[in-house]
Chains A and B, each alone.
Chain A
Amino acid sequence: MTQEQAPKKTGAYICSGCGIGECLNVDELSKVAKDELKTPVVKTHPFLCGSEGVELIKSDIANEGVNTLSIVACSVRVNYDIFDFGPEVLLDRVDIRERVAWCHEPNDEETQALAGDYIRMGLAKIKEMNHTSPYKIESVSETIMVVGGGITGLTAALNAARAGHKVELVEKEARLGGFMNNLKKIFPQTAPYDTVSVNDIEDRVKEVEDDPDITVHLNTTIKSISGGPGMFDVSLKDGSQSKINIGAIVLATGFKPYDMSKLTHLGAGLPDVISGVDLEKMALDEAIKRPSDGKPARRVVFALCAGSRCDEHLNYCSSVCCSASLKQADYIRKSDPDASVTIVYRDIRTTGTTEHFYKSIQQDPGIFLTKGDVDNVKHEGDELYITIKNTLLGGPVTIKADMLVLATGIVPTAFDEKVVATIPNDQMQDFDREQVGKASILNLEYRQGPELPDLAYGFADSHFICFPYETRRTGIYSAGAVRHPQDSATARNDAVGAALKAIQCVKMVGRGRAVHPRSGDDSYPEFAMERCTQCKRCTVECPFGAINEDEKANPIPFPTRCRRCATCLGACPVQIISFKNYSIQMIGAMIKSIDMPDEFDEKPRVLAFICENDAMPALDMAGINRLKYSPVVRFIQLRCLGSINLQWVADALSSGWDGIMMIGCKHGDDYQCHNIKGSAIAEERTGKVQETLDRLMLESDRIRVESLAINDYHRIPELIDGFVEEIGNMEPNPYKGF
């Protein structure tokens, strides 16, 4: 496909099935394609997706030399497998079923006009579309780098190696094993889940050390990472300053315990007030004693949520402290049957099968569980006096203890509170803000900063429930406690998933294709650099940090980092960025293609740009549910609303469209845009259109941005009709007919 393409010979195939023929005059539509647009081959069929219809198309491909197809029938979401004529054929689908026949008045002049315009738009589109050819790099590294040698990193490394990949494992400490080296026992790992399990971290370490495909770098951190997926150049800070070529990366640097010294309100700093981590160490050394005098700790109190679930410290729940404290209470009781343990909790959060362990601990008469909050801790004589409020008994109670254990929470290693903003807030770009509080781990040589943007609290997590491994840096996948608070069993599963994603990324890069959310897409943005004005919009707005800059502010695209959302295409004020099958010219041609009624016709025309991920399927749902809405709107689906270029708005206004809608995903804190902020960017850009409108002396209300979730299809009639009514109340666009 990369070779010279034969000249296009276009065939338009119009289906009259599924009620299309009863709603529309298909012969007239045929004339639009044939007579008006001079399409070489135009055919209609009552059942185009049936074998006869498909054969008709195949025969024209074989015998008539048709190589470019406009299938005028149903939504692209259906019959995709039937209308697949191989990579040599350029294909576009024009939907006159869900978008016309199923939701508009049959045999109506405006409905007919709508279908005609969709054919015009479709044929204009395919004229500007070209065959894609995958972006291939010379040699793709399939080596996976794992950052962090704790349980998550070890598991990721072993699983990637077992699937046939070389692994480079980087650990900053002198030994592998991470935090689990400090644990005497681990949470129950198998049914009946009622007793603690043996800590087998040493076995995992040995497996890694013995694995011929895993290279371990101890005492090593990362100096820098440049390049992109399939071709990362990693410089290590080790004795030899070595450089390695890496395909994809798993970030598994884990957590650090919350700094206990900040918990003075819970007695931190007083004698015999220790953290859960301290207690674990004592247990490992078989010496659970009061630190102050070495006497046995007979009365031990655990304060749960020490720092967690607290506005002043950690807003989140650390997830593991309840189970860890139950486990440690068990150590104490096993080592000294005369000892008593009191656990002060808010909620015991032993989710899932850990509940069995909680139940078994509750059977121990020497362990008391008390709901409440530790309010005050005093040390008098050689005893601690611990006052608990919000108890089930009502008023506060004070208990005496030999030792208080604070179940301190966990903090992601990706977070570093010492990394503060160095430029004033009003001068910061989004990506500058995203780097505040980020610990130096990856040191990416990316224009948008060295570390992974986080979601909340410094956890290097995805925003997506459905796609938990999607970070905003392609080819870098986080796993384990650096991603969100989790125990070792969860972390091990998480590690295997992250390893899969890393492997998948190098495989996709090898085929020159995109990873999620446009998985398999083999188009990529091309830059007509000779016209670049070095404005930096593309390097700033790319949601995935795919574009670097040279010292003169010229963009340096890294296609293997690119997710093909086309936000850069939308950002570019001089329109130098295009994809083979998605370009400024293509959408522009669609906008200009319609049969625009003149200003005396009283037939307004509204253009609606819609997101293909959510708004487009919602529109299909509206059709399937036979919802009726105004036929004056013509939809153009975009890869993402973030790809809207203001040139299209100008094109629309100058070609006489009376109103423009942009319908995208919800934005804000709980954004639903798979490209992070597409709809937010569209709204921002639209703000700037004001100026254009003023210059053209047009009302700014002619343009509206709306958000629409995929299940909001019932809102479509109200949304569309409301806007059309407002447009109807305005004068027609004065540029009609120019």
Chain B
Amino acid sequence: MQSSVLVVGGGISGMTAAIEAAECGRQVYLVEKEAYLGGRVSKMNKYFPKLCPPLCGLEINFRRLRVNPLVTVMTGSKVEKVTGASGDFTAVIKTAPRYVNEKCVACDDCVKVCPVNRPDDFNYNMSETKAVYLPHAMAMPAKYVIDMSVCKGEACSECVKACKYGAIELNMEEKTTTVKVAAVVYATGWKPYDAGKIENLGYGQIKNVINNVEMERLSAVNGPTGGKIVRQDNAEPVKKVAFVQCAGSRDENHLPYCSSICCLASIKQANYVRDQYPESEVSIFYIDLRAPGKYEAFYKKMEKDKNVKFIKGKVARIEQDESGRATVTVEDILGGGKLKESFDLVVLATGMEPTMKTDKAVDVVLNDDGFMELDRQTVDGFIPAGVASGPVDVTTSIQNSTGAALRAFQCGVGKRG
């Protein structure tokens, strides 16, 4: 019988499950496929409804990790195989080479000499980094990483020469680790629904049509524009911005469920626009405005802003006009008739698609939407957390991830009797 816990996914849900378990005295292995912890949340500019920076809570969690020796963080890693049964699993974890070892001091000398650029996936490819890069300024761990798909390798070796600390290992190899655990918490999170699949909305074709996660980066000080919300074709300030709700969600052809967070995310992003441009006008096209519970106040406050219009109507299509702006055609249910209006920027409130829908872990049971329901699992000891379990907001993710830690204790050594 084991007492350790394996947590798959190092976003806010996985970090929460890991830290909460470790603070109860459990050994935890936290496995994250990216080179840094924090997942989607680290790319968010602000949270609704407080409009506070997610980095603030992340930092507290990072500190909890720093002072807690019971959590083994494995970034750049994937769980390849889990065998055994509840209370006694064996998991095989593959760690991709980072090409930068633990001697890295984050001094940035390597970046100064690296001759190759790559799209910055942290900024959803809206900017570039060098082939050697720090994922972002607050990255945990604060160690650089090399993207070997673009690095020129030993033929170049400029970074190797520049690094005074011997931190670069261009021939680093994949590592395999085997751990024994009592339970596996799957906190694999989500990805934004590919808006390119919604043909009539022009995403991918019209420059000034972006999705809501890109809007977060565009608004963030550490984003591609230093926080300036600008038109994507000419970098001019925006005067009129539209938000198109249920872009993919509540649609049998795309995501049949409601993604729960998009209404509030758009209200939050409308705040970004209104704060940055006092003269700006915002239109939010929605089917039902879903601001449950206390979030209602956040909606009500925005409703009072005369420059923000909430329009109940389904967007039929988006086209580019001759000036490069995006023209939105919408069935205006409340006003009656059709509405056609041009905007400098259109933000598609794309929904959340569970990561496991396309990248399912072996032996995990998913429902038709791709979510992992606890009661459907055929392997006892496989526990879902966060958005892997259903489309929920950050705070609900944290609640059920905290609970996931306790469910893990009910396997193996912590099991009663």
**A476 smallest CB distance to B (angstroms):** 15
Q: Cα distance A494–B106 when bound, in Å? A: 40
A468 near B24 with CB under 8 A, answer: no
Residues of A within 8 A of B165 (CB): 17, 47, 50
Chain B 296-327 against A: per-residue CB contact (8 Å), 1 yes, 0 no?
11001000000000001000000000000000
Does B122 make an interface contact (CB < 8 A)? no
Residues B399 and A159 in contact, CB atoms below 8 Å apart: no
With A164-B416, A352-B260, A497-B400 given, is the CB distance from A319 to B52 under 8 Å? Answer: no
Instruction: Encode B3-20 as 1/0 by CB contact (under 8 A) with A.
Output: 000000000100000011
Q: With an 8 A cutoff between CB atoms, is A78 at the interface?
A: yes
Which residues of the partner chain B approach A164 to less than 8 Å between Cβ atoms?
409, 414-416
Q: Is the CB of A319 within 8 A of B257?
A: no
Q: Is A579 an interface residue (CB 8 A)?
A: no
Question: Are A621 and B59 in contact (CB-based, < 8 A)?
Answer: no
A contact residues around B55 at 8 Å (CB): 617, 710-711
Quick one: which of B47-65 are within 8 Å of A by CB?
47, 49-62, 64
Q: Is the CB of B56 within 8 A of A614?
A: yes
- Can you list 27 A-B pairs with a CB-CB distance of less than 8 A? A18-B106, A50-B103, A78-B106, A159-B407, A164-B414, A189-B375, A349-B290, A351-B260, A352-B391, A456-B297, A465-B398, A466-B398, A497-B402, A500-B402, A501-B20, A507-B24, A508-B23, A519-B67, A520-B68, A614-B56, A614-B59, A621-B138, A670-B51, A710-B59, A711-B221, A712-B221, A714-B227
A444 contacts B by Cβ under 8 Å: no
Interface 9-mer from A36-44, A482-490, A598-606, A641-649: A482-490
A319 touches B293 (CB 8 A): yes
Cβ A353 vs Cβ B391 within 8 A: yes
Q: Do the beta carbons of B51 and A213 come within 8 Å of each other?
A: no
Residues of A within 8 A of B50 (CB): 465, 670, 672
Pick out which of these stretches binds chain A: B83-91, B153-161, B201-209, B365-373. Answer: B365-373
Whether A467 contacts B57 by the Cβ 8 Å rule is yes
CB distance from B319 to the nearest CB of A (A): 26
A355 at the interface (CB under 8 A from B): yes
Q: Does A49 contact B (CB under 8 A)?
A: yes
Of A80, A352, A356, A392, the contact of B392 (CB 8 Å cutoff): A352
* Binary per-residue interface labels of chain A (497-528) against chain B in the complex, 1 for a CB within 8 Å, 0 otherwise: 11111011001100000011101100000000
CA–CA, A674 and B398, complex, Å:
17
Check: A6 CB closer than 8 A to any chain B CB.
no
Considering the complex, give the chain A residue whose CB is closest to the CB of B249.
Answer: A355
Q: Does B295 contact A (CB under 8 A)?
A: yes
- Find out whether the CB atom of B292 lies under 8 angstroms from the CB atom of A485: yes
Task: Check A467–B292 contact: CB distance below 8 A.
Answer: no
Cα distance A517–B407 in the bound complex, in angstroms: 23
- The listed residue (B56, B373, B409, B415) touching A190 by CB distance below 8 A is B373
- Indicate if A256 sits at the interface (CB-CB under 8 A): no
* Contact A520:B64 (CB < 8 A) given known A159-B407, A317-B291, A467-B398: yes
Q: Does A181 contact B (CB under 8 A)?
A: no
Q: 6 more A-B contacts (CB under 8 A) besides A191-B373, A352-B260?
A: A17-B105, A163-B414, A316-B297, A494-B399, A709-B56, A711-B55
What residues of chain B lie closer than 8 Å to A318, measured between beta carbons?
293
Interface residues of A in 294-325 (CB under 8 A from B): 309, 315-319
Residues of B near A192 (CB, < 8 A) are 367-368
B108 nearest CB across to chain A (Å):
8
Smallest CB–CB gap between B180 and chain A, Å?
Answer: 20
- A459 interface contact, C-beta 8 A: yes
Identify B292's interface contact among A77, A317, A359, A504, CB under 8 A: A317
Q: How many residues of B contact A (CB 8 A)?
A: 90
> Is A219 an interface position by the 8 A CB rule?
no
A440 on interface, CB distance cutoff 8 Å: no
Contacts of A319 in B (CB 8 A): 292-293
- Give the Cβ gap from A89 to chain B, nearest Cβ, in Å: 16
**B40: interface (CB < 8 Å):** no
A157 CB, min distance to chain B CBs, angstroms: 12
In the assembled complex, the Cα of A680 lies from the Cα of B240 at a distance in Å of 37
Q: How far is the CA of A164 from the CA of B24 in the complex (A)?
A: 13
| Residues of B with C-beta under 8 A to A498 | 402
* Alpha-carbon separation in the docked complex, A493 to B385 (Å): 10
A354 touches B369 (CB 8 A): no
Q: Find chain A residues with CB under 8 A from B127 CB.
A: none
Is B57 touching A457 in the complex (CB atoms < 8 A)? no
A464-B392 Cα distance, complex, nearest whole Å: 16
Residues of A within 8 A of B134 (CB): 624
Selected contact of A355 from candidates B257, B407, B410, CB within 8 Å: B257
B142 touches A77 (CB 8 A): yes
A348 within 8 A of B: yes
**In the assembled complex, how far is the CB of residue B335 from the closest CB belonging to chain A, in whole angstroms?**
9
**Tally of A interface residues using CB under 8 Å:** 95
The answer to the question of A533 belonging to the interface, with a C-beta cut-off of 8 Å to chain B, is no
A163 CB, nearest partner CB in chain B, Å: 4
Q: Is B177 an interface residue (CB 8 A)?
A: no
Bound Cα distance A485, B227 (Å):
35
- Closest-by-CB residue of A relative to B60 is A517
Q: A50-B103, A504-B23, A613-B60 are in contact. Are A711 and B398 (CB under 8 A)?
A: no
A66 touches B (CB below 8 Å)? no
Q: Is B235 an interface residue (CB 8 A)?
A: no
Chain A contacts with B in 55-82, Cβ cutoff 8 A:
74, 77-81
Question: Within residues 156 to 205 of chain A, which ones have a CB less than 8 A from any CB in chain B?
Answer: 159-164, 189-193
A501-B16 Cα distance, complex, nearest whole Å: 12
A628 contacts the other chain (CB 8 A): no
B residues less than 8 Å from A712 (CB atoms): 221
* Residues of chain B lying within 8 A (CB to CB) of residue A161: 416
Are B250 and A465 within 8 A (Cβ)? no
Q: Which of B51, B256, B368 contacts A359 (CB 8 A)?
A: B256
- B25 on the A face (CB < 8 A): yes
CB-contacts of B377-417 with A (<8 A)? 390-392, 394-396, 398-407, 409-410, 414-416
- In the complex formed, the residue of B with least CB distance to A483 is B399
Residue of A nearest to B373 (CB): A190
A682 at the interface (CB under 8 A from B): no
**Which residues does chain A contribute within 8 Å of B289, judged by CB atoms?**
347
Whether A519 contacts B23 by the Cβ 8 Å rule is yes
Chain B residues in 8 Å Cβ range of A269: none
Residue of A nearest to B410 (CB): A162
A685 contacts partner chain B, Cβ-Cβ < 8 Å: no
Partner of A507, one of B23, B62, B107, B295: B23
Question: Are A507 and B400 in contact, CB atoms less than 8 angstroms apart?
Answer: no
Which chain A residues lie closer than 8 Å to B164 at the CB level?
Answer: 17, 46-47
A710 surroundings in chain B (CB, below 8 A): 53, 55-56, 59
Nearest A residue to B68 via CB reads A520
Contact B292 A349 (CB under 8 A): yes
B336 to chain A, nearest CB (A): 7
A617 in contact with B138 (CB, 8 Å): yes
Say whether A577 faces chain B, with CB atoms less than 8 Å apart: no
Q: Are A674 and B60 in contact (CB under 8 A)?
A: yes
Given contacts A80-B66, A316-B296, contact A466 B402 (CB under 8 A): no
Q: Given A163-B406, A315-B297, A711-B220, are A351 and B60 also a contact pair (CB < 8 Å)? A: no
